[in-house]
Structure 1
Amino acid sequence: MLNIMFWNLKRNAIEDMIITCIAENNIDIAIFAEFDNIDFNKIEESLGKMYKRILGVQKDRDRKVTLIAKTTFDIKSIEQEKRYNIYNIETGLKKYILAAIHLEDRRNYETRDRLETIRDIMENIEQTEALWKCNNTIVIGDFNANPYDEELISRYAFNSVLFKTIINKNELRNPSTLKKKRFYNPILHYISEETEMYGSFYYENGSVTPYWYCLDQLLVRKELINSICHMEYLKRIDKKELLKNGIPDQEISDHLPLLVKLQEVGNGV
C-alpha cells in the first residue's frame, strides 16, 4: 500500500500535528503547500529520521509545494517550477511520476492564469512520461478549481474524466486528431453526505451561498485507476478535530488534508 497525503497548511506552524498525522496514517509521501513556517528538521528528527525532505539541485526553488517521504523510497525532484514540482519515485514495487501542484488562487487570479500554468505542467508531464517510459502518473495538490471546472476537464488542460467507464472505453480524447491522453479523477466516488465527506475548503462570503469546495484533488493515468482503494479528507488527527463550527479550524489550516491510498501489487507496471 502506498499512502500519500497532501495538505495546504495556511502557513501555520503545526509541526506536532503533522508528525502525529504522518505516524497515525502511516504516510509514505507527504506533500505540503503554504509551508513557509514549518520546521522540517523538527519533523524529520521527531520521526526518528525515517523521513527526509526531497529537494532538487536548486534547494531554494520549493516555492509553492514541497515533499517529505520515507527514506526507504528512491525519490528525485526532476522539475522545480514556481507552481509545481515533478518527482520520479521508486518504491521497490513500482515506479511513479508525481506532480505536486498549487495553482493560482481564485481570489487574485483568473481561470486563464491557471490554464496557462496547467499547459506548462502537462507539457512537462508528457515529456517526463516519454523520457522515463512510465505512465504511472499522479497529479496531486491544490488545484484551486472544482472537479467540473475547465481547469480539470478541458482537453487543453488536465483533460480529466470523473468515471472509469469513460477512460476505459477510450484513453485518448479525440483519438483521430488531438490524441490527448486522459486523467481519471476519483473525487465523485468519495464525496458523500452519508460519510460527511464534503470537500477540503469551505467558503462563505456575504450573500454568496456558502458551500464546500473540492480544491484539493488527485488525478491518475489509466494505468492506476484500479489502484486507488481509498481517499478521504481527514477531519481529525488523533483526537484533535480539524473542524470548528462545521468548517476547517483556521488556527490549524483553512484546508483539510487529503489522504490517498494506492494498492501497489497487481496494478500497472
Structure 2
Amino acid sequence: MLNILFWNLGKNAIEEYIIDCIIEKDIDIAVFSEFEGIDFEKITMNLGKFYNYVHWEGQEDRKVTLVAKTTFGVELVQQQDRYNIYNIKTAVKDYLLAAVHLQDRRNSSTADRLETIRYLVADIEKNEDLLKCDNTIVIGDFNANPYDEELLSKYAFNAVLFKTLIGKSEFTNPRSFKRKRFYNPILHYISENTEMYGSFYYDRDSITSYWHCLDQVLVRKELADNIVQVEYLKKAGKKELLKNTIPNKQISDHLPLLVNLQEVENEN
C-alpha cells in the first residue's frame, strides 16, 4: 500500500499534528502547501524514531514541498512556482507525482488557474513521455471544486468523475482532439453517512456557507483501479482538527487529504 498525504497547513506551526498524522496513518509521502514557518528538521527527527524520512526541499518562496520515506527514490524533475513534479520509485513501480497549489479562488480568477493548469498538464505529458511513465498522480489544493471548469475542461485537467468513463476511453475525442484524461475519485468518497463533506469550509458569506472539496487527487487510467480509499481527516492522532464542526483555523483552515493506493505492477 502506498499512503499519500496532502495538507495545506495554513501557515501555522503545527509540527506535532503533522508528526502524529504521519505516524498514525503510516504515511509514505507527505505533500504540504502554505508551509511557511514549519520546522521540517523537527518533523524528520521525530519521525526517525519510526522510519527514516527526508525533506526534499524547503524553499519558502515555493508553494509546495514534500517529505518522503528514504526507502523510496525521489527525484524532483520539474519545478515551477505553483507546482513540483517528482519521479517516485518504490519497490513495485515508478510514479510521476505532481504536487500542486493553485491560485486562491478568493483573490484570483478561474482564468488564472486555467493558465497554470495548461502549463502543468503540458509538463506532465512531457515527463510522461521522457520517463516512459503513465502512473501519474496529481495531488494538492486545486482551489476548485470537482465540477468546476478547472477540473472538467478538456483544455485543463480533463478529469472524469466516474471510473467507467475513463475505463471505456482514456482519451477525449480520440479522432479529433486527442487529450488524455485523468480520473477524479472524490465523488465516490463524499458521504453524509461517513460525514466526509469536504476539506475547506467557506463562511465569509452566510449565503454561500458550505463545504468545498478544494484538496483533491487525480490519477491516470493506469491507477484508477488501484485507489483503495480517499479521506479528509478530522483528527491527527488523538488531536481534533475541527472546531464547532468546521476546520479549526488555529491548526489549519484545510483538512488533510489521505489517499491509499494499492501498489500493483503494471501488466506488460
TM-score of the two chains, using structure 1 as the length reference? 0.96
Cα deviation, residue 177, structure 1? 1.2
- Partner Cα distance (1:237, 1:85) in 2: 26
Q: How far did 1:170 drift?
A: 1.0
Q: 2:67 & 2:61 partners in 1: Cα distance? A: 12
- 1:136·1:268 contact (CA, 8 Å) conserved in 2? no
Distance 1:61 1:205 in 2: 28
> 2:114 is matched with which residue?
115
1:1-269 aligned at under 5 Å gives the runs 1-48=1-48, 50-55=52-57, 60=59, 63-266=62-265
Shift of 1:267: 5.3
What letter corresponds to residue 170 of structure 1 in structure 2?
A: S
Asked if the contact 1:141–1:216 (Cα under 8 Å) also holds between the matched residues in 2, the reply is: yes
| Contact 2:55/2:66, CA 8 A, preserved across alignment | yes
Q: Distance in 2 between matches of 1:238 and 1:60?
A: 28
Which secondary structure does the structure 2 equivalent of 1:198 belong to?
coil
Query: 1:135 & 1:231 partners in 2: Cα distance?
Result: 21
Contact 1:226 1:267 in 2 (8 A): no
1:207 offset after TM fit, Å?
3.7
**Letter in structure 1 aligned against 2:28:** D
Bigger mean CA deviation after superposition, 84-93 or 61-70: 61-70
Letter in 2 for 1:71: T
Counterparts of 2:75 and 2:108, CA distance in 1: 31
* Distance in 2 of aligned mates of 1:69 and 1:62: 20
Go from structure 1 to structure 2 and tell me whether the alpha carbon gap of 1:216 and 1:165 turns closer, same or farther (over 3 Å shift). Answer: same
What is the letter of the counterpart of residue 215 of structure 1? Answer: L
Q: Which runs of 5+ in 1 are unaligned?
A: none
Deviations 1:4-34 (A, max 9, x none): 0000000000001111110110000000000
Report if the CA contact (8 A) 2:93-2:265 is conserved: no
**Which consecutive unaligned segments of at least 5 residues does structure 2 have?**
none
CA drift of 1:206 comes to 3.1
Pair 249,207 (structure 1): closer, same or farther in 2 beyond 3 Å? closer
Contact 1:199 1:212 in 2 (8 A): yes
In 2, Cα distance between equivalents of 1:173 and 1:215: 24
Change (3 A) 1:129 1:61: farther
The one-letter amino acid paired with 1:135 is D
TM-score (norm 2): 0.97
- What is the CA–CA distance in structure 2 between the aligned matches of 1:77 and 1:258, rounded to whole Å? 22
Query: Secondary structure, in 3 states, of the residue corresponding to 2:20?
Result: helix
Aligned with 2:208: secondary structure? strand
Residues 9 and 60 (structure 1), Cα distance of their counterparts in 2 relative to 1, 3 Å cut: closer
**Contact 1:227–1:267 at 8 Å: present in 2 too?**
no
Equivalent residues of 1:173, 1:179 under 8 A apart = yes
**Does the 8 Å contact 1:31/1:66 carry over to 2?**
yes
Q: Is the 8 A contact 1:62 1:80 kept in 2?
A: no
